[in-house]
Amino acid sequence: MLATLLHGPRDVRVEERPDPRLVTGDDAVVRVVAACVCGSDLWRYRGIVDFEAPKLMGHEFVGVVEQVGDDVHGIRVGDVVIAPFYVCDMTCVHCRGGVSTSCVRRGGWGFPDDRGVLADGAQAERVRVPVADSTLVRVPEGVDVDALLPDLLALSDVCGTGHHAAVSAGVGSGKTVAVVGDGAVGLMAVLAASRLGAERVIAFSRHPDRQALAREFGATDILEERGREGAKRVHELTGIGADCVLECVGTRESIEQAVRSARPGGAVGYVGVPGEGPAWPAQYLFSTNIRVAGGVAPVRQYLPDLLDDVIAGRIRPGRVFDFETTLDGIAEAYAAMDERRSIKALVRMPEPPAAA
């Protein structure tokens, strides 16, 4: 099969790899229908994060089940499934405690699973899925998968990640919300805040296309200012600062902007992946009682509810994809996102031959 490998910074190649096969009884093999490129893939692409080359790429996909192990009972061959960006068993103490991202069987695509066997990357024709019964979420029969493909694919990561920021910050009916970051996750956070009943959603963005999408997702105000100036504008708009701030970037600057945009006693929900530098300022948080919650999003738990909303047409998270290609064009998808020509890129895999 074909799979995407990163051989070094800006060196994306599609290469032949062995077809995946079942290793244990709880594995499945899924034929990928579509995958995406993630903002976090760009860290390795840009050489910001070290990695052992060549690296199997991709951690978001929608596909069709081709094989299941003997212990897999919840999904069947032919099912359309959505994979979250990590593997989890949904029964361990951490999954039950609400943090499936800390599952005792946690694994990631393109990394060894909990038994030490490499899991495939998702930017590929096929993927072996460890702990398949609990990891994968089945799309009900009768859903028009072709029509909803971008929306279903967004549930793999960005939609649930934006949702986690909103849930972590306690967004609910009547709240004022400010969203720091206008990337795919930030835009999904706008959607999540709106979906959860926020009264006012203030999005920071300087890009007309992203501003327009933020409005479509429910933003009531757009601010072009950044940093302390941006935070000051939130205070002017709200009188006291936002009840909830959703931090979707992860830099020192965005963290400061987020914290200073919140009202005393407010909350910052964060999903921006922090590098080694950033920290939350203890003294400022102490004096204002602003709380901080979030982290790597347990999207698997959110997936069923968000899927219901996608199927019912209540949310269209797939609108975040503004670039589409096929596997052989994936290097261009990386380049488009790297150069910010694209918010998020969708990659369709080749259709299997009719005889397959």
Residues that bind a second copy (CB under 8 A): 93-94, 97-99, 101-102, 168, 239-240, 250, 255, 263-265, 267, 270, 273-276, 278-283, 285-296, 298
Nearest to a second copy of 74, 265 (CB atom): 265
Long-range pairs for 228-232: beta carbons < 8 A, 24 or more residues apart? 228/256, 228/257, 228/260, 230/204, 230/257, 230/261, 231/256, 231/257, 231/260, 231/261, 232/260
- Nearer residue to a second copy within complex by CB, 3 or 258: 258
Provide CB contacts within 8 A for 305, sequence distance 6+: none
d(CA 316, CA 205): 20
Phi and psi dihedrals of 302, rounded to 5? Answer: -80, -20
Contact partners, residue 239, CB within 8 Å, separation at least 6: none
CB of 104 to a second copy, least distance (A): 10
Nearer of residues 4 and 301 to a second copy, judged by Cβ: 301
Cα R_g (the chain), whole angstroms: 20
Q: At closest approach, how far in Å is the CB of 185 from a second copy?
A: 13
Q: Which is nearer to a second copy, 67 or 100 (CB)?
A: 100
Question: Please, what is the minimum distance in Å from the beta carbon of residue 139 to a second copy?
Answer: 27
Report the nearest approach of a second copy to the CB of residue 91 (Å): 14
Q: Closest distance between a second copy and the C-beta of residue 309, in Å? A: 23
Nearest residue (CB) to a second copy, 67 versus 168: 168
